């Protein structure tokens, strides 16, 4: 199921979302200050490309990760999370779209607190 789900995900919007996250990472990496945030965007872009069968584990950050998560949340994190939640709700309207909506909710969770998150 996870391979078929990932292929369908990739064909119906996963590649576009991955491209958007990667472009966001490139824009953030233009400045030296934005490089840590750009790296997190690249990490999320990898998950967006192939989300089925992978889990997100939050909460493994220290003091530096906490500070970066707060900055991320204030500056860009909430926008990414809201977008993924809205798309997830739209997908959950139909029974067929529920697995894809759940993947967007997982991405919204990672979009809120990416620093210290582990993707397994």
Every domain of the chain and the residues it spans = 2-119
Instruction: Give me the pLDDT at residue 85, please.
Output: 96
Rounded CA-CA distance 48/51 in Å is 6
pTM score, whole prediction: 0.89
pLDDT in tens, the chain (120 residues): 789 999 999 998 899 999 999 999 999 999 999 999 999 999 999 999 999 999 999 888 888 889 999 999 999 889 989 999 999 999 999 999 999 999 999 999 999 999 999 998
User: Is there a contact between 98 and 26 (Cβ–Cβ < 8 Å)?
Assistant: no
CA dihedral 24, 52, 71, 116 (to 10 degrees): -120
Distance between CA atoms of residues 19 and 57, nearest Å: 23
Contact assessment for residue 76 and residue 1, using Cβ atoms and an 8 Å cutoff: no
Give, in degrees to the nearest 5, the angle at Cα 89 between 54 and 72. Answer: 60
């Amino acid at each position: 199921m996870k391979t078929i789900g990932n292929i369908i995900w990739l064909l119906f919007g996963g590649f576009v979302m991955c491209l958007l996250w990667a472009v966001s990472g490139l824009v953030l990496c233009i400045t030296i200050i934005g490089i840590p945030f750009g790296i997190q965007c690249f990490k999320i872009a990898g998950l967006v490309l192939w989300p089925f069968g992978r889990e997100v584990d939050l909460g493994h950050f220290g003091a530096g990760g906490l500070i970066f998560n707060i900055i991320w949340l204030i500056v860009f994190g909430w926008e990414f999370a809201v977008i993924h939640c809205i798309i997830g709700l739209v997908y959950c309207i139909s029974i067929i779209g529920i697995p894809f909506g759940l993947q967007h909710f997982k991405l919204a969770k990672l979009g809120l607190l990416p620093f210290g998150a582990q993707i397994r």
